[in-house]
């Protein structure tokens, strides 16, 4: 794969900020580099979601309006067709007191006018400079973010192709800079570290029409999802959500256990909970659960109620 010049990428990224400030040079939009949305989230979230927007546009619209205060459905309708992927990181695998943490990352090609319209002062947003800089020929140019008085969450613009939303956007902007350098030097983003199982990361980054999620700290999340306290030694869980086109989703879930004995006990427990309302199979140390039906509201609830 042909390597991109780092200085060129940085220059393009910095030019974007001029575009935001002065609403000019719209032709630069297509040259701004894009970084995989999942790669911008910190590596210590307990749960990760990945949503291919084209196949789940209505849900993606509801999700954006749910997590971004002041965003109207009218503005979301304008933005959604320009977004390719929405990723989210929930909770903190290293801090059980921070399990309500939410980080959202968007990748697409959003026009400057959409940014100026949706994040205007009239709608309650204030533009701020970040302490994280992008450099052009040794000159530092600050990233920018937007904040509101009615929420602790901030929305940051890494570029017109990468947005991040979190209470603390600085680490995500720093990750953008690191991943941008990696993309320029190697053609690839840096994969996550020890908290991730390699096969799980590969599964999350596959091209698919499904909404997918993985759970690196399974117990708490699976209790909310399954309605059952999973007091078993769980290694990891991976799930997918398929749209039924009637306001509901089918959930398929794979749960990896430390050994076959624990898996057998977990299967017996879930079989009692679901009876005939789900299919349950086993393979090696993996428990597979199929055809759990969730409403759109059920799926939105998985993102928590503390994002306002």
Q: Backbone phi, then psi, for 274, in 5-degree steps?
A: -95, -20
Give the span between the Cα atoms of 168 and 154, in whole angstroms: 7
Give the span between the Cα atoms of 215 and 239, in whole angstroms: 8
Q: Could you list the pLDDT tens digit for every one of the 308 residues in the chain? A: 333 344 433 433 443 443 343 333 344 445 556 899 999 999 989 899 999 999 999 999 988 888 777 778 887 888 899 899 999 998 888 776 676 788 999 999 887 787 878 788 888 899 999 999 886 556 788 999 999 988 888 999 888 899 999 999 999 999 999 998 898 888 888 888 777 877 788 899 999 999 999 988 776 677 767 766 667 778 888 999 999 888 889 989 898 888 888 888 888 887 877 766 778 888 888 888 888 888 888 888 877 644 44
**CA atoms within 13 A of residue 91's CA, in its CB half-sphere:** 21
Give the span between the Cα atoms of 276 and 208, in whole angstroms: 28
Is-contact 18 143, C-beta < 8 A?
A: no
- Considering only CA atoms, which of 293, 179, 301, 174 is closest in space to residue 242? 293
């Amino acid at each position: 794969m042909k390597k991109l010049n780092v200085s060129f990428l940085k220059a393009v990224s910095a030019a974007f900020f001029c575009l935001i400030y002065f609403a000019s040079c719209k032709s630069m939009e297509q040259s701004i580099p894009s970084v995989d949305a999942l790669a911008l989230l910190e590596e210590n979230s307990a749960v990760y979601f990945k949503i291919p927007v084209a196949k789940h546009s209505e849900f993606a619209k509801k999700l954006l309006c749910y997590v971004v205060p002041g965003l109207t459905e009218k503005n979301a309708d304008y933005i959604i067709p320009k977004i390719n992927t929405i990723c989210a990181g929930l909770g903190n695998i290293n801090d059980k007191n921070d399990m309500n943490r939410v980080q959202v990352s968007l990748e697409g090609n959003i026009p400057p006018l959409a940014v100026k319209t949706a994040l205007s002062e009239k709608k309650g947003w204030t533009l701020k400079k970040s302490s994280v800089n992008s450099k052009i020929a040794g000159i530092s140019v600050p990233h920018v973010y937007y904040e509101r008085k009615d929420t602790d969450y901030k929305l940051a613009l890494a570029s017109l192709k990468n947005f991040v939303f979190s209470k603390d956007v600085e680490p995500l902007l720093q990750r953008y800079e690191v991943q941008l350098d990696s993309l320029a030097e190697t053609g690839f983003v840096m994969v996550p570290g020890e908290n991730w199982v390699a096969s799980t990361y590969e599964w999350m980054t596959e091209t698919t029409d499904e909404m997918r999620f993985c759970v690196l700290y399974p117990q708490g999340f699976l209790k909310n999802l399954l309605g059952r306290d999973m007091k078993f030694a769980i290694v990891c869980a991976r799930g997918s959500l398929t749209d039924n086109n009637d306001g509901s989703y089918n959930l398929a879930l794979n749960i990896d256990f430390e050994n076959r004995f624990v898996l057998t006990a977990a299967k017996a427990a879930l079989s009692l909970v679901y009876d005939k309302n789900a299919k349950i199979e086993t393979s090696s140390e993996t428990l597979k659960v199929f055809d759990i039906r969730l409403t759109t509201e059920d799926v939105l609830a998985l993102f928590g109620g503390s994002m306002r």
